[in-house]
Structure 1
């Protein structure tokens, strides 16, 4: 009972808990900059563990059933891999003269989130189950799309920067192995419930990622400030695009909220290992800056979006 009580408290206060983990990570990285290097080594394992728990929450044998809602799934893919790239192309033009900022900004803004987006979707009354079921597909498509989209949108800025190795490594370590492990656990130990580990793992991931990159962020001085308005503009415009497209697709209210959060929330945690592999010193700090801007924005969005996409509204075109 006590364990359930603690879990209930954690679930009820997830958002402030994650903000607390970020604050602790900033404090740790600022006060003890020497921890950044060993913590960088831990980034991939903690993210892989987080994705294992995330994928375990998906009934993998029933993924075919999740594809039955083709309207939601196709709209989700269209938002993240058609609408978002067009939006990102437009808002990153001010960075065209600074490729060391443009490339990591493209890397993170083109990757849809697959972890804490589920939390924010649930808090705002969105269809978290639909979004959760789509996470393996979103992960796979983005790992295949990023090596194409980033050079396409960056142009000459990526010459010689992108090689298949980091993406292949991420595909294996952060998608295939966690997905295989989740499937094996579901098959061999069907009674195991890993969901209680989600919040502690998310806290650990945020703490590890932020503290490992805080010295870099602080060492960049004002360089990263140019990214802040781009990240804020993305959050605002992607949210608006999600609302408009969900109405055009005639999605119900929970699905519309899930779609909007998916379009507005980015996969900064998972693309960080890719940023670390780039020969651009500022790239990891640029990615973590997006995390900080986004999570602060999410605190507002979970309160605002339910007012923008209200329960009880009729999908357009229906009477």
Structure 2
């Protein structure tokens, strides 16, 4: 069953999106309750994600200075420049602008692991970098928002929201995963928990996508005319980040799997994690949450394209850096997470 889920995970994710959309439109009154479920399902998903790679690999990833430097430069130097330029097209609308900035300034730390693995990227190194990426984006996001929107924004956005998101969505799942791995060396029950969570990775991602879409799809439909303005921005971002990611990988001397990972990290955004922040803004900016969800829908379609495109753009035989290519054969990509 696990093998079947992994083999068909992309169609299953799209089916989950469709099911969530149908349910959300058929029963819009359940949206508030589903919004409350977003954080819990995200916490479980990220727990399973962190649990799937031994913490010894996390330590090795954090010592991989060149790879981490490439990720940091791409996501926190080059991406903000791109985002600033693209966001000027909606600068006249504060809610649209806030939603675009929230989602495009924050690199993904969850399903990027799945899609990059399917493309033969060094997904375990991305997983190891996830806590650092999350910490840096939580520190820098208020800075970028202030620069791009003005200091008045801080009257409606508070640091407590960012700290709560970091604690609930990163620190808690990571600590619990570390405890589970420690107990697994001594307890058969803990080892069983690890096996169960591995088997649940794809269903958990499906549940997360379905809950998010079902909770927001009615709002998307109601604001469709406004949201059409952000669609070209999201598509342009996905296109621009391919050459920027490849260039970053080459500048920092990465091998093919690592360069693929850099491309995916630059292109995928943290929509699921920043959605609770967008949902907490005042009513006047409430459209920001729908703008974030719209990015999720565009990006998932883009990731299906990336999984096919990136291995062709960066084939195994390409020479980008000194040979350090130790990832799994792209014909048999690593398991998600």
TM-score range normalised by the length of the shorter chain: over 0.9
Q: 2:255, 2:322 within 8 Å by CA — same for their partners in 1?
A: no
C-alpha deviations, 1:111-139, integer Å up to 9, x for none? 11111111111111111111111112112
* 2: CA distance, partners of 1:163 / 1:24: 34
- Of the three residues 77, 94, 111, the one matched with 1:99 is 94
- Of the three residues 112, 115, 124, the one matched with 1:120 is 115
- Of the three residues 282, 285, 288, the one matched with 2:287 is 282
Distance 1:68 1:159, change over 3 A: closer
* 2: CA distance, partners of 1:29 / 1:82: 38
What TM-score results when the alignment is normalised by the length of structure 2?
0.89
**Match in the other structure for 2:331:** none
* 2: CA distance, partners of 1:130 / 1:164: 29
Shift of 1:155: 2.2
Q: 2:59, 2:128 within 8 Å by CA — same for their partners in 1?
A: no
Larger mean Cα displacement after TM superposition, 245-254 or 267-276: 245-254
**Match in the other structure for 2:155:** 160
- Of the three residues 302, 308, 314, the one matched with 2:307 is 302
Please show how residues 133-212 of structure 1 align to structure 2 within 5 Å.
Answer: 133-155=128-150, 158-190=153-185, 191=191, 192-193=194-195, 194-212=197-215
* 1: CA distance, partners of 2:297 / 2:37: 20
Larger mean Cα displacement after TM superposition, 86-95 or 60-69: 60-69
CA RMSD of aligned residues (A): 1.5
Q: 1:257, 1:305 within 8 Å by CA — same for their partners in 2?
A: yes
C-alpha deviations, 1:232-258, integer Å up to 9, x for none? 111111122101111222211100001
Gaps of at least 5 residues in structure 1 are 1-5
Distance 1:289 1:66, change over 3 A: same
**Match in the other structure for 2:252:** 249
Shift of 1:161: 2.1
SS in 1 for 2:224: coil
Number of aligned residue pairs: give it. Answer: 313
Larger mean Cα displacement after TM superposition, 224-233 or 133-142: 133-142
SS in 1 for 2:150: helix
Shift of 1:260: 0.2
- Of the three residues 61, 67, 75, the one matched with 1:66 is 61
Please show how residues 307-318 of structure 1 align to structure 2 within 5 Å.
Answer: 307-315=312-320
What TM-score results when the alignment is normalised by the length of structure 1?
0.94
